[in-house]
Amino acid sequence: QVQLQESGGGSVQAGGSLTLSCVTTRYTSSNVCLGWFRQAPGKGREGVARIDMLNGSPYYADSVKGRFIVSRDTAKNLLLLEMNNLKPEDTGMYFCAASTDRSCRHHGPEGHVYNFWGQGTQVTVSS
């Protein structure tokens, strides 16, 4: 079973930057996609970005396109999310997730195809 652990969350002012990290352990070679999701208080889960582990291609939600960068370090089993020009609406709990379902390659991050999840890291952006 894949295990994931996020870190790097915190509190920043609008316009600031944060970089989130997610370490994956155990059976990492079975992962087809790794994704980042977030959930704000009182709102549903939103797919933020994902990376195709087979070819490295990224996908971004429109809400973060041009501001966030998702990348991987396969040697370290590490998934990164560089977040720039943060806005108060980026506030939420951020989760990384892994999918062993090949369908994840064909669209943006959709939670139902991700079968392993981390515990989350909180990001708070103040205005």
Q: What is the pLDDT of residues 2-54, one digit of tens each?
A: 899 999 999 999 999 999 999 998 767 788 999 999 999 899 999 999 999 99
Residues 124-127: contacts with CB within 8 Å, 24+ apart?
A: 124/10, 124/11, 124/12, 124/91, 125/11, 125/12, 125/13, 125/14, 125/16, 125/86, 125/87, 125/88, 125/89, 125/90, 125/91, 126/11, 126/12, 126/13, 126/14, 126/88, 127/13, 127/14, 127/88
Q: Does 119 have pLDDT greater than 80?
A: yes
